[in-house]
Amino acid sequence: MKIFSPKEELTKILKGESIGYFPRSIPVFGPIVDIMKLTDSYFPDGNYKEEPMSRLALGAHEYGNWNAIMMPWASTIEMEALGCKVTIKDDIAEYPLWKSCAFNDLDEVSFGKDIFKKGSFPAIFNAIKIVREKIVNKYSDKIPIVGMFQGPFTILSYSLGFDKMFKYMIKETEKASKALNIISELNIKYASKMLNCGADLLLMSDPVAEGLGRKEFEGILVPIYKKINQSLESESFIHICGKTSRIIKSLPESGFKGYSFDYPKLSLDFVKETLGNKMKVIGSVPTVTHLLEGTKEEVVDISNYMMENGTDILAPSCGLPQYTPLENIKAMAEAIANYNKKNYGIEF
Amino acid sequence: MDQEKILNNLKDGVIKYDEEKVISNSEKVIETGIDINEAILNGLSKGMRIVGDLYEDETYSIPEVLLCADALEAGMNILKPHLKKEKRKEGHVVCIGTVEGDIHSIGKNIVKLMFEVGGFKVIDLGENIESKKIIDILSKENIDVVALSTMMTPTLRNMKDTIDEIRNKFKKVKIMVGGASVSEKTAKLFNADGFAKNAQGALKVLESIVNNNLKEDDDSI
């Protein structure tokens, strides 16, 4: 049996090609304190400075044994550059905290040419370049870098206020669509820059879209997702956490190749059945009940359940809580290795 | 217009997020002297319960629920000043907020409305609330229960820190928690007194906390 590199595995799976065994990449990540200690890289610098950011990103592979690197991870990156105020605490594990909106209403939504010089963008681009260089030199370019960005609905919800944005989706549909299209241009430019810096694949996370009904999601957001995908020059997948049963049926129209879902808010069977063979299923080890609060054995059990019942790529159900024990992170990688050994006789 | 029709209009106005209909019929409640508790329970609140069902069966999503909540609030603003509080709940004050770092307000706002509909006095601290602000309000006001919410995993620890701080300084204050990232197990680990999955459950949990407190008070006498 031909063995592919983790990068080839992930790319092939998302393209819909078979690899003959279970892919080793775990493509959704967020720094945990155990890895911060091991890499001597902490927040807030890990979110704003290229060196600690790159060390934390590589830590997922070097200490967690995850065969993929997802970066960056803060949910406030785009919002901060757009003008939202954030609080940066002097706390080793605290993400930047959203403080206030950037815009008062939909007509104000815009961004300048210098946006990528603002906030943490410069550090992110440099950090991706550093990680790429280290992967090429240390790991023969075999580990994929997944560039993560926030989706347009989430960015606008933070930039305008959640209540307002949800109501606009019913009361001001044209204006909302126009503003979301403006933000999608930011998405496309940002994603392209990450690819130019060395990212291999893209993950768009649009968690706030969970609250939408099918009509608004399908009518307004999916065409925008489609436009984003048509402009991206790599394989991409999407993460929307929570109970997305209202909107999941429209997801295959978006052009994303995989859907990272949130178990047990949705069951694996339901996701498989709904997406059929139109999208790959990614996930879903629960972050709180298993990775944060569970034992290593519980993490292995749920990982096995996911692999045995048809997930295509194993991943946490959402962003990792910062105090997730390293042992539970490693347990996911171990579960994949044992699954491949047991079912395909492959030892990596 | 008879009472039944006015109450029905209040209910329908909430369900169809028709704020004008709710306002005009709330004014009619006052004009015609309909019992305010009756108007809230069998008009506005009944409508919101049906909205909850419509959300559960996925007919409605968050945008509709928010607009329904706006209509409910418009009615409550007219009726509340005339509300005779039930003696059992008189004096019970709840302070509610979303923990620091989290700006999700929708669920919290709906829970707040349910508490008000249930007859509690609610102090809404808003979203993204630093623990210091909660400690300040607890020092100044006579608050029985603090209700905290978070939707995100990165802010879970802020919830725990806030609870720890409250516990250290205010032994008698009860704490209930909720939000998408909070499980029953998390609530126990965080040493909360109650956990609710949704807005309707939240009112039941609050009532149970308050009732247990009353029993404890009775026992101690």
Per-residue pLDDT reduced to its tens digit, A69-110:
999 999 999 999 999 999 998 899 999 988 899 999 999 999
Under the banding of pLDDT at 50, 70 and 90, the label for residue A239 is very high
Greater pLDDT, A23 or B155: A23
Q: Is A288 on the interface with B (CB under 8 A)?
A: yes
Q: What is the mean pLDDT of residues A251-277?
A: 96
Let me know whether B74 and B100 are in one domain: no
B88 pLDDT more than 80? no
Is some CB atom of chain A closer than 8 A to the CB atom of B66? yes
Question: Chain A contact for B4, CB < 8 A?
Answer: no
pLDDT for the residue numbered B74: 94
Task: Please tell me which residue of chain B has the smallest CA distance to A319.
Answer: B153
Res A183: pLDDT: 98
CB contact under 8 A, A98 and B101: yes
pLDDT at B128: 87
Query: What stretches of chain A adopt beta strand conformation (E)?
Result: 69-71, 85-87, 97-100, 145-150, 201-205, 236-239, 258-260, 280-282
Is B61 close to A212, i.e. CB distance below 8 A?
A: yes
* Residue B43, token pair as written in the block: 């008009």
Per-residue confidence (pLDDT) for residue B89, from 0 to 100: 53
> B39 and B94 in one domain?
no
Check residue A22 and give its pLDDT. 98
- CATH code, domain with A326: 3.20.20.210
pLDDT digits (tens, 9 = 90+) for A186-226: 999 999 999 999 999 999 999 999 999 999 999 999 999 99
Residue that the structure tokens 């031909």 belong to: A2
Domain contains A1 = no
Check whether residue B193 and residue B101 sit in a common domain: yes
Closest among A207, A221, A152 to A182, alpha carbons compared? A152
Rounded to an integer, the average pLDDT of A314-326 is 95
Asked if residue A246 is part of any domain, the answer here is: yes
Residue B217 has pLDDT above 80, yes or no: no
Interchain pair B183, A167: CB under 8 A: no
Same-domain check for residues B27 and B125: no
Residue A88 falls within a domain, yes or no? yes
Query: Is residue B113 domain-shared with residue B148, that is, in the same domain?
Result: yes
* Separation between Cα atoms, residue A336 and residue B10, nearest integer Å: 56
Burial class (CB in 10 A: 0-12, 13-18, 19+), B123: middle
Residues B119 and B205 in one domain: yes
B124-156 tens-digit pLDDT: 999 889 999 999 999 999 999 999 999 877 788
What is the pLDDT at residue B219?
Answer: 39
What is the average pLDDT score of chain B?
87
Residue B221 has pLDDT above 60, yes or no: no
Q: What percent of chain B has pLDDT over 90?
A: 53
* A236 located within any domain: yes
Q: What is the pLDDT of residue A21?
A: 97
B50 in the same domain as B93: no
pLDDT at residue B199, as a whole number: 76
Question: Does the pLDDT value for residue A117 go beyond 50?
Answer: yes
Which of B82, B117, B139 represents a domain boundary (last residue)? B82
Strand ranges of the sheet holding B121-129, from the earlier edge strand across to the other edge: B121-129, B93-99, B145-149, B174-178, B194-196
Q: Under an 8 A CB cutoff, do A99 and B58 touch?
A: no
Could you tell me the residue range of the domain that residue B158 belongs to?
A: 87-220
Domain extent, residue A281, equals 6-344
Q: How many domains does chain B have?
A: 2
CATH number, domain at B138? 3.40.50.280
Here the CATH number for the domain that contains residue B57 is 1.10.1240.10
Q: Would you give the DSSP letter of residue A287?
A: I
pLDDT at B81 over 90: no
| A66 torsion bin: left (phi>0), alpha (psi -120 to 50), beta (else) | beta
Give the pLDDT score at A298: 98
Q: Which two tokens stand for residue B154?
A: 């990165």
How many folded domains does chain A comprise? 1
Give yes or no: residues B160 and B100 share one domain. yes
Mean pLDDT score of chain A, rounded to an integer? 96
B50-54, B115-119, B134-138: which has the highest mean pLDDT?
B134-138
Query: In this structure, are B77 and B98 located in the same domain?
Result: no
Both B76 and B93 in one domain: the answer is no
- Using the 3D structure, point to which of B64, B82, B100 is the last residue of a domain: B82
Which residue, of B33, B51, B82, is where some domain finishes? B82
Predicted pLDDT at B213: 67
Q: What is the pLDDT of residue B52?
A: 82
Whether residues B11 and B62 share a domain: the answer is: yes
Q: Is A285 helix (H, G, I), strand (E, B) or coil?
A: strand
In a domain, residue A121? The reply is yes
Instruction: Give yes or no: residues B109 and B127 share one domain.
Output: yes
Interface contact A300, partner B, CB < 8 A: no
